[in-house]
Structure 1
């Protein structure tokens, strides 16, 4: 007889919804550039398309354009235009919705820093 694994949440429908929500979030934020784009916009507040190449070394224009389009479609960033007398300046900013991500990003960064220290510490302690 096969033993059924009992989830830690009584309502399996809620468990499925939470699993799908996590999967959707991971799909949205997957790839090496989306977190970088969001993090750079958080720190710089607004960036023009060409500014991203200075703060995200190695990204191609095609990839940047695609990633910005995806993040904009998911309402995490917004394209704004600043009208001046000489020329119009287009730039990107985080939306209010994206501000919710900062706690997640910061937690991941803190974990990454801590984990790196643990790995380095274990590498040196293993040699003794």
Structure 2
């Protein structure tokens, strides 16, 4: 009897798990999804606008998270030649690819709240 070859999906699985891990590290923390979601809904926002929109975040944390997101090419930062200096942030084309993920997280959250409180959409 001839043995069937064993299909090894280990490398495919490992690549997928590594990609998930990379994504989770990139978007880890309490604030990144909120910041990205806010910028997806706006064309451009200034630092103080983001500070108002992302309820509960402090200035130092917002600054750190914006630096991380910019470093990872999810947002761009533009310094305007004004007095005082104005800085605007916007989502990059690469960052826009997160839109379906953010939408699904929002849908999950609305469905979860509805299941908890017995409300429908």
TM-score grouping bracket, smaller chain normalisation: 0.7 to 0.9
For residues 32-53 of structure 1, what are the alpha-carbon distances to aligned partners after superposition, in whole Å with 9 as ceiling and x for unaligned? Answer: 1101111111112211111112
Number of equivalenced pairs? 113
Q: SS where residue 39 of structure 1 aligns?
A: helix
**TM-score (normalizing by structure 2):** 0.83
Mean Cα deviation higher: 10-19 or 93-102: 10-19
Q: Deviation of residue 89 (structure 1)?
A: 2.6
The answer on 1:70 being equivalent to 2:88 is no
Aligned partner of 2:93 among 91, 96, 105: 96
Flag as ranges the 4+ runs of structure 1 deviating above 6 A.
none
Which residue does 2:52 correspond to in 1?
Answer: 54
Aligned partner of 2:112 among 112, 115, 125: 115
Q: Distance in 2 between matches of 1:10 and 1:101?
A: 31
Gaps in structure 2 of 5+ consecutive residues: 1-6
Q: Distance in 2 between matches of 1:36 and 1:115?
A: 18
Aligned partner of 1:17 among 15, 18, 37: 15
Coordinate RMSD, CA, aligned? 2.0
Q: Distance in 2 between matches of 1:73 and 1:28?
A: 10
